[in-house]
């Protein structure tokens, strides 16, 4: 860790970046927003930003934006009852009134019109005869009064408590890895917790690599590279590569591919995991270790490495090293 940083400095760096995104979203809810755009606001790599956001906020980026748009729409329905459903839908970033109405009912179990009627009746009953202009939720200069964006901001102590959730690693180191060539079998689709799937893919890869003497070398390593995040990509489109290290000149064909893992600094965090604990382990690396480290994730793939020189002492668990690429804050 760079000695010029204190724990407080590092935490506040991450807090500041996440808050910048929350404020940007709050101020641009009526506009389309892309992952690349928001990762630039946060000054995090696009490759890793969505995972950082999810760990810190407790919901995915798309869930957060969806929720804020609907909550803003719910306020407008009551505070500006003369506005049409279409106007509100477009003001809150929905492409049409029909998609807005479906989403609204999914969240609030009421249609927009039903919500408006119910809330206006409740307001009248709780404030009989009150001039709407004096209501806490009234309009100001023709605009709806919304809570300030700071209400969404993470206090430093809340941020710390959230980051200490997850499965901790007791063995963490920073490694400077050389460029590494791997042969792989690619899979597209859901994979979380599916031990049989991983075993099938590794069996297939080893059946190809064995006759080519790729499994007998002392430096042989087994990895899984995740090309997409479950927080962003639909399950049936998630890509992963089950890999074995191989010489650069290895010839591949058919459904066996070859790729290069870029050289550079990585954090390596060792865990003993069962099939239900991987998400917590990844969350700990992104949510606790990184904000204390003086690093942010670099724009290179992250991966899991399965060491062959050590076995888990706990039945049903596997030793796994999680690697995340790094660059200085």
Instruction: Write the DSSP string, 106-119.
Output: HHHSS-HHHHHHHH
- For residue 61, the Cα-to-chain-centroid distance in whole angstroms is 7
Q: What burial class does residue 89 get, using C-beta atoms within 10 Å of its C-beta: 0-12 exposed, 13-18 middle, 19+ buried?
A: buried
H helical segments located in 228-324: 278-284
Query: Any residues with CB less than 8 A from the CB of 133 and at least 6 apart, and which?
Result: 139
Q: Contact at 8 Å (CB) between 287 and 163?
A: yes
- In whole angstroms, what is the distance from residue 69 CA to residue 82 CA? 19
3-state SS class at 170: coil
Q: What per-residue confidence (pLDDT) applies to 134?
A: 42
Angle CA(138)–CA(139)–CA(144) in degrees, nearest 5? 110
pLDDT at 241: 93
What does the alpha-carbon distance between residue 264 and residue 298 come to, in Å, rounded to a whole number?
9
Domain boundaries defined on the chain? 7-162, 171-328
- Sign for the CA dihedral angle at 234, 235, 237, 242 comes to positive
CB neighbours of residue 228 within 10 Å: 16
User: Quick one: how far is CA 193 from the chain centroid?
Assistant: 18
Per-residue confidence (pLDDT) for residue 159, from 0 to 100? 55
Query: Which CATH number fits the domain 7-162, given the four candidates 1.10.10.60, 3.40.50.150, 3.40.50.720, 1.10.3720.10?
Result: 1.10.10.60
pLDDT at 14: 85
Are 287 and 278 a contacting pair, CB within 8 Å? no
What distance lies between CA 328 and its chain's CA centroid?
Answer: 21
- In the structure encoding, which two tokens stand for residue 270, read together? 């060792």
Tell me how many degrees the CA angle 213-216-221 measures, rounded to the nearest 5. 105
CATH number for the domain running over 171-328: 3.20.80.10
Is the separation of the CB atoms in 46 and 299 below 8 Å?
yes
Q: What's the start-to-end Cα distance of the chain, in Å?
A: 10
Q: Kindly give, in sequence order, each residue whose CB lies less than 8 Å from that of residue 48, ignoring residues fewer than 6 positions away.
A: 286, 296, 297, 299, 302, 324
Taking Cα atoms as reference points, which of 308, 326, 292 lies closest to residue 14? 292
Q: Are 238 and 191 in contact (CB under 8 A)?
A: yes
Phi, psi (rounded to 5 degrees) for 130 = -70, 135
Q: 3-state class of 101 per DSSP?
A: helix
Instruction: Going residue by residue through the chain, which has 329 residues, state the pLDDT in tens, using 9 for 90 and above.
Output: 344 445 556 777 888 888 889 889 988 999 999 999 999 999 998 888 988 898 888 888 999 999 989 988 988 888 788 889 999 999 899 989 999 999 999 999 999 999 888 888 886 776 565 544 444 333 333 333 333 333 345 555 555 555 555 578 889 999 999 999 999 999 999 998 899 999 999 999 999 999 999 998 778 999 999 987 776 677 888 889 999 999 999 999 889 999 999 999 999 999 999 988 998 899 889 888 988 898 988 888 899 999 988 888 888 899 999 999 998 88
- pTM (predicted TM-score): 0.69
184 alpha-carbon distance from chain centroid: 25
**CB distance 282 to 246 below 8 Å:** no
Phi-psi region of 63 (alpha: psi -120 to 50; beta: other; left: phi over 0): alpha
* Main-chain dihedrals φ then ψ at residue 262, nearest 5 degrees: -65, 150
What was the pLDDT predicted at 136? Answer: 39
């Amino acid at each position: 860790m760079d000695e010029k940083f204190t724990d407080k400095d590092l935490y506040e760096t991450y807090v500041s970046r996440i808050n910048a995104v929350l404020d940007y979203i709050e101020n641009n809810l009526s506009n389309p927003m892309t992952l690349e755009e928001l990762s630039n606001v946060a000054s995090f790599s696009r490759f890793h930003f969505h995972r950082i956001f999810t760990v810190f906020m407790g919901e995915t980026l798309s869930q957060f934006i969806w929720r804020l748009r609907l909550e803003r729409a719910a306020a407008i329905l009551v505070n500006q009852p003369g506005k049409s459903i279409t106007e509100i839908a477009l003001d809150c970033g929905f492409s049409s009134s029909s998609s807005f109405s479906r989403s609204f009912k999914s969240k609030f179990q009421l249609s927009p019109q039903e919500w408006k009627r119910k809330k206006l009746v409740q307001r009248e009953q709780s404030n009989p005869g009150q001039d709407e202009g004096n209501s806490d939720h009234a309009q100001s200069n023709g605009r709806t009064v919304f809570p300030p964006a700071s209400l969404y901001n993470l206090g430093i102590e809340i941020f710390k408590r959230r980051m200490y959730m997850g499965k901790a690693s007791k063995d963490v180191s920073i490694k400077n890895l050389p460029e590494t060539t791997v042969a792989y079998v690619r899979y597209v689709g859901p994979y979380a917790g599916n031990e049989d799937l991983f075993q099938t893919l590794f069996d297939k890869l080893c059946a190809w690599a064995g006759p080519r003497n790729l499994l007998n070398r002392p430096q042989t390593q087994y990895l899984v590279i995740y090309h997409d995040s479950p927080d962003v990509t639909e399950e049936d489109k998630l890509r992963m590569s089950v890999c074995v290290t191989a010489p650069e000149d290895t010839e591949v064909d058919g459904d066996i591919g070859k790729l290069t893992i870029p050289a550079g600094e990585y954090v390596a965090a060792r865990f003993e995991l069962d099939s239900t604990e991987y998400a917590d382990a990844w969350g700990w690396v992104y949510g606790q270790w990184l904000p204390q480290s003086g690093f942010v994730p670099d724009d290179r793939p992250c991966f899991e490495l399965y060491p062959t020189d050590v076995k888990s002492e706990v039945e049903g668990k596997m030793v796994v090293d999680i690697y995340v690429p790094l660059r200085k804050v």
